[in-house]
Structure 1
């Protein structure tokens, strides 16, 4: 995983020593042959004999019986019902080893990775261990907060519906686990007895000692890839000698197949000015300005009048923690940014190059995830980890006034959106629901209905600018299109299932004919939703190298922007 290597390198060194010894034997065999007159093809013969010697040496090594030192603790042939420990080797390895031993002594079946291994097979192993575990303990440390592996493990556990028990060892709690109460173990304390008892009930030891860490494979299995690679390398060298002795043949003409053309042709430019994950992106109503929100605590304002050549205009540094969402008011004069610092800041962006802080809305008691303006610009909605939705009067954006606090959700609220007619508002939550609200009078909102069509967390809700379609995205890998002509009785129109992982974001084009969706599969998928009951996949964009957190269309339809965990923003524009 992160850093720890154990004795793995030393075992590889032994394999190399044996291989070299085998090569020496091959070389020794070559010397008398050359003395006996077999020197005509000296280079070829020497290479072949060296290869043979190396292969024989490795064969001896690989055939030897594993010693007790090669074996790890016994482990069930079909693992399951264990406790998975997620942590960073860089600053929590010692604590986790001690924790694992304490839990084992207390009768808890524990699994954690104790050595670094890379590749798809190990990734699948980790996924399998999480899928089959009874619960996950996340040890939170500064390096753990920066670890991509830890982030993936926690995300996979959440998607699999596994109980997660955070332990704060050092630093601050993980943002992704802000909705879960953690246990403070700073200074290397052990978890409280009550928690250990709960973990024992979830993952009891069946018989025999628990496997502390993964069982190491026998040495011959671990070294085999290196032995085969070395042998193959030397055989290739031998064949190269033979090939070099044959006269060059004239090169053949190579047939090339043009790249398939999609139904949507767009050019793209990648912006990498942020120093952290980019969680939010939005365009101004006139389409000339774009704003991006990032984990680096900043908002960058961009000139996208020519979407093929975006340029930064200003960097706003008013927040003290991750900025998660950004939105423009309909008159394009005001911009709002929502942050993990529990605040929403309103900015005057009349002069795009010199935005001015107007005021702040500070009604939430925890991380603020999302912010949106009503179509008339008089109302602002914010949502957060505190499970609430707050409606604000922003007629005077320098002095936002709280109108109402909605408490219908049972878990954190990820997203909020207003319908084009301003009368309806939708909110999406990790309680797997979407709630539709009557906000015709924002001072007296009322719940219209609750949608339960998703099987996992709901991350985004979006209304089509025209018509009566609403889209929702979820950790169940799906996008659902709803007919909200009657918002009190929505009707499911279609489900989009082309994403292979959690779908994080969705946005409609200004004419309502296209829908863009993004997710953990690193894709941006473009759909034709002219007929919402029969959506058609039009294009797939793969520029991002990590999860894609947000997507937005410009108001004139001339640009499509996406932002993600690779710290980039990709702006696409049609090829003329």
Structure 2
């Protein structure tokens, strides 16, 4: 029995209640402080992340501006951007910068068309105005060797198209060339220094050759002309070509033409944008298989004849021709180039190069036909790109236009895309950014957040990747 007076018992119960209240209040205050602290930390981290993202994107933009004028600085700034915050934008910017560093001018002379052998060793360029009668022949062997500083001029020139050269084609082995306008000339390039004019293929109908294509072995030629006709020739004996057929392919001029490696499938595009697939299993009787599009600017076909690209200024469509009578469209992707001047596929159909106005060449990965993925852009090429061509495996690129022709060595592109940071640091592990340049390009961002204490230079390849 509790013998304490009633008043003392009441005071005791009051003390317990007060202590309980005080403890509860303290716990509530502590919880509030924790919540506020966590909220502050989240907000601080969010603001810090936003600052890093803004800083990284700003550096990436500076890198893009400097690609042509100062490629070394562009590489350092692009790498710093990825180190600070790696996202699709900064990675794509660094990849484009690294790709730009792999291109060099072949000739400043304008060229409207280019052609390339399968191994990327032999190239053809024309005068670019459709009037000049010369096609330059280049041996790119030394151009693709970075150890050779002095690059040779063209080997020789092909002359004979009196009305000017509008189009041309080169066989996979680089030994047979076609140059065309009103008539198409067949050339033997076995000896590059002394090309031999083998024969002339007369223009078909009332229009000269506007588009040319050769099979891989150089024995089948397909010519599209301004009257809409498609002619198939047998060049097994290049000194005595045999015309196998002439087919009315379109109601308007044939502006583009592609041929599979075996010469069994052709794709033509006319001035009205119609793209048509042709079965040339019997080259003496071409059979129209299907129409793919009605508003195309250009088209391309893979060597195996299974993949076709159809493109215009707004989008590109990929088609599968396993069933030529019923082609299947596998994907559509947006390519805001402003215009579509040319496109080309690698032999396996897994890489595409699209070309448009100035600074608008782009490479795409088509390994998954339903999900095309952008690989890189030919940034830094500040001229209009009118014509592009790829080596068989996509390792060598020629890009041509009114401002000249450039050759790109992209044989390690897969490594660059997979790990642009490693590619940027290869051979440049001591690449540095001074404190003054940091302030210049970052707008005064806190140097101490990224540099080693006491250092006046930032070794970009050693930046802490955990910052991103």
TM over 0.5: yes
1:270 is matched with which residue: 105, 127, 131? 105
Change (3 A) 1:404 1:525: same
Q: TM-score, normalised by structure 2?
A: 0.62
Contact 2:96 2:377 in 1 (8 A): no
Match of 2:237 in 1: 396
Q: Are 1:513 and 2:350 counterparts?
A: yes
Contact 1:479 1:503 in 2 (8 A): no
Match of 2:197 in 1: 357
Match of 1:464 in 2: 302
2:121 is matched with which residue: 288, 294, 298? 288
Q: Are 1:405 and 2:246 counterparts?
A: yes
**Post-superposition CA distance 1:281-337 (Å, at most 9, x none):** 111234321111232332111111144456411122212233222212244321111
**Post-superposition CA distance 1:169-188 (Å, at most 9, x none):** xxxxxxxxxxxxxxxxxxxx
Residue aligned with 1:548, SS: coil
Match of 1:378 in 2: 219
2: CA distance between counterparts of 1:549 and 1:367?
Answer: 21
- 1:482-521 map, 5 Å: 482-521=319-358
1: CA distance between counterparts of 2:222 and 2:208?
Answer: 14
2:379 is matched with which residue: 514, 535, 542? 542
1: CA distance between counterparts of 2:126 and 2:330?
Answer: 32
1:318 is matched with which residue: 140, 144, 160? 160
Residue aligned with 1:350, SS: coil
Contact 1:264 1:538 in 2 (8 A): no
> What is the deviation of 1:361?
0.9
Contact 1:304 1:311 in 2 (8 A): no
Match of 1:387 in 2: 228
Contact 1:330 1:376 in 2 (8 A): yes
Unaligned runs of 5+ in 2: 1-75, 80-92, 145-150, 413-468
Q: Radius of gyration: which is bigger?
A: 2
Q: Are 1:299 and 2:135 counterparts?
A: yes
Contact 1:265 1:574 in 2 (8 A): no
Change (3 A) 1:509 1:451: closer
> What is the deviation of 1:263?
6.8
Residue aligned with 2:341, SS: strand
Residue aligned with 1:279, SS: coil
> What is the deviation of 1:491?
1.3
Match of 1:237 in 2: none
- 1:111-122 map, 5 Å: none
2: CA distance between counterparts of 1:257 and 1:285?
Answer: 36
> What is the deviation of 1:434?
0.9
Q: Are 1:338 and 2:180 counterparts?
A: yes
Match of 2:289 in 1: 448
Match of 1:94 in 2: none
Question: Hey, which bits of structure 1, 4+ residues long, moved more than 6 A?
Answer: none
Contact 1:265 1:575 in 2 (8 A): no
What number of residue pairs does the alignment pair up? 312
> What is the deviation of 1:273?
5.2
> What is the deviation of 1:367?
4.0
Per mean C-alpha deviation after superposition, the further-off stretch among 426-435 and 307-316 is 307-316
> What is the deviation of 1:400?
2.1
2: CA distance between counterparts of 1:543 and 1:307?
Answer: 19
2: CA distance between counterparts of 1:307 and 1:479?
Answer: 32
1: CA distance between counterparts of 2:266 and 2:307?
Answer: 13
Q: Are 1:437 and 2:278 counterparts?
A: yes
Q: Are 1:479 and 2:312 counterparts?
A: no
Unaligned runs of 5+ in 1: 1-255
Residue aligned with 1:551, SS: strand
Contact 1:375 1:418 in 2 (8 A): no
Match of 1:425 in 2: 266
Q: TM-score, normalised by structure 1?
A: 0.51
Contact 1:279 1:323 in 2 (8 A): no
> What is the deviation of 1:376?
4.0
Residue aligned with 1:265, SS: helix
- 1:21-420 map, 5 Å: 257-258=77-78, 260-262=93-95, 265-266=98-99, 267-272=102-107, 274=109, 277-294=110-127, 295=129, 296-308=132-144, 309=151, 311-339=153-181, 342-364=182-204, 365-420=206-261
2: CA distance between counterparts of 1:321 and 1:496?
Answer: 39
1: CA distance between counterparts of 2:134 and 2:263?
Answer: 30
Change (3 A) 1:319 1:361: same
1: CA distance between counterparts of 2:236 and 2:170?
Answer: 14
With a CA cutoff of 8 Å and minimum separation of 6, indicate the structure with the bigger relative contact order. Answer: 2
1: CA distance between counterparts of 2:334 and 2:390?
Answer: 22
Contact 2:340 2:355 in 1 (8 A): yes
Residue aligned with 1:262, SS: helix
